[in-house]
Structure 1
Amino acid sequence: MELQIFRHLWGVPDPLDVCIPRFVKAGYDGIECASAEKLPQGVTTDDLRGAIETHNLAYLAQTFTTGDSVAEHVASFRAELDRVLPLNPVRIGCHSGWDRFPLKDAIDLYRELVRIEADLGIPVGHETHRSRIFYNPWTTRDVLMEVPEVKLVCDFSHWVCVCERIPEEPEVFALAADRCMHLHARIGYAEGPQVTDPDAPEFAAERAAHEAWWQQIWAVQQERGESVTTVTPEFGPPPYLHTLPHTQEPVADLEDVCDRQAGNVRRLFAAWSSRA
Structure 2
Amino acid sequence: MNIRFYAPLWGNTLPFDTFCRNVKQAGYQGVEMDFPFDQNEKAKLLAVLAHHDLEMIGQYWQSAEKYIDEHLVNFEKFIRNLGSANPVFINSQTGKDYFTFEENKRLFDMASKLSEELGIRIVHETHRGKCLYAAHITRHYLTLIPELRLTLDISHWYAVHESLLSDQQDAVQLAIGHTDHIHSRVGHSQGPQVSDPRAPEWKEAMESHLHWWDMVVKAHEAKDTTLTVTTEFGPPSYMPVTPYTQMPLADQWAINVHMMNLLKDRYGIQNYG
Q: Match of 2:100, as an amino acid?
A: P
| 1:97-176 correspondence runs (5 A) | 97-168=95-166, 169-176=168-175
Residue of 48, 55, 68 corresponding to 2:52:
55
Match of 2:34 in 1: 34
- The number of aligned residues is 266
Structure 1 length normalisation: TM-score?
0.91
Q: Which structure 2 residue ranges, 5 or more long, are not aligned?
A: none
Separation (CA, whole Å) in 1 of partners of 2:262 and 2:236? 22
Separation (CA, whole Å) in 1 of partners of 2:119 and 2:36? 22
Separation (CA, whole Å) in 1 of partners of 2:115 and 2:82? 14
Percent of residue pairs identical: 30
Q: Is residue 114–residue 149 contact of structure 1 (8 Å, CA) maintained in 2?
A: no
Q: Is residue 83–residue 118 contact of structure 2 (8 Å, CA) maintained in 1?
A: no
Q: 1:34 to 1:100 in 2, by over 3 A?
A: same
Deviations 1:154-211 (A, max 9, x none): 1000000111111122221121111112100000011110001111111111111111
Match of 1:211 in 2: 210
Separation (CA, whole Å) in 2 of partners of 1:71 and 1:132? 16
Secondary structure, in 3 states, of the residue corresponding to 1:7?
A: strand
Q: 1:136 to 1:100 in 2, by over 3 A?
A: same
Q: Match of 2:213, as an amino acid?
A: W
Separation (CA, whole Å) in 2 of partners of 1:195 and 1:162? 15
Separation (CA, whole Å) in 1 of partners of 2:163 and 2:2? 32
Match of 1:274 in 2: none
CA RMSD of aligned residues (A): 1.7
Separation (CA, whole Å) in 2 of partners of 1:179 and 1:72? 29
Secondary structure, in 3 states, of the residue corresponding to 1:44?
A: helix
Separation (CA, whole Å) in 1 of partners of 2:170 and 2:77? 35
Separation (CA, whole Å) in 2 of partners of 1:135 and 1:207? 21
Structure 2 length normalisation: TM-score?
0.92
Separation (CA, whole Å) in 1 of partners of 2:116 and 2:145? 13
Separation (CA, whole Å) in 1 of partners of 2:23 and 2:218? 28
Q: Match of 2:152, as an amino acid?
A: C
For residue 221 of structure 1, report the CA deviation from its aligned partner: 1.6
Separation (CA, whole Å) in 2 of partners of 1:270 and 1:36? 36
Q: Is residue 90–residue 122 contact of structure 2 (8 Å, CA) maintained in 1?
A: yes
Match of 2:194 in 1: 195
For residue 19 of structure 1, report the CA deviation from its aligned partner: 1.3
Match of 1:268 in 2: 266
Separation (CA, whole Å) in 1 of partners of 2:71 and 2:260? 33
Deviations 1:26-81 (A, max 9, x none): 1010010111359xxxx910121011111111100001344234333332222112
Q: Match of 1:154, as an amino acid?
A: L
Separation (CA, whole Å) in 2 of partners of 1:258 and 1:185? 9
